[in-house]
């Protein structure tokens, strides 16, 4: 997301203020750029996950909230990450055995 210049929308969680009554072209461009950047950041995080993750994060309002949820859910120290990998491997093996029985 840094490469796509979207990280600012996640990290800063800025508010996009409404345009004044008679905005200048620069104000319109700036407003549209910030709105678009926030939407693209959310879209990237939606697309990066599985459908199960999507159903969990689609209720969250901001890109920052989505990032914080994903970080809490899938982050952790090395021991926790190792246990999650081990559980995923076991689940994969179980599914393979089930498929072989069919």
Query: What's the confidence (pLDDT) of residue 44?
Result: 86
Measure CA of the first residue to CA of the last residue in the chain; give whole Å.
Answer: 42
What is the pLDDT, as a whole number, of residue 33? 92
**Token pair of 71, please?**
């970080």
Q: Predicted confidence band at 81 (pLDDT cuts at 50, 70, 90)?
A: confident
| pLDDT tens string 32-73 | 998 998 999 888 888 877 788 888 888 998 889 998 888 887
Confidence (pTM): 0.63
* Cα 26 from Cα 8, distance rounded (Å): 20
**Reduced DSSP (H G I as helix, E B as strand, rest coil) percent helix, strand, coil of the chain, to 5:** 70, 0, 30
Given a contact cutoff of 8 angstroms between Cβ atoms, the answer to whether 57 and 22 are in contact is no
């Amino acid at each position: 997301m840094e490469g796509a210049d979207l990280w600012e929308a996640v990290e800063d969680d800025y508010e996009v203020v409404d345009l004044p009554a008679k905005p200048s072209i620069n104000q319109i461009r700036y407003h549209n750029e910030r709105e678009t950047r926030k939407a693209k950041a959310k879209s990237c995080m939606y697309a990066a996950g599985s459908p199960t993750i999507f159903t969990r994060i689609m209720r969250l309002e901001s890109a920052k909230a989505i990032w914080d949820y994903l970080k809490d859910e899938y982050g952790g120290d090395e021991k926790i990450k190792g246990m999650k990998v081990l559980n995923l491997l076991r689940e994969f093996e179980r599914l393979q055995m089930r498929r072989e029985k069919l």
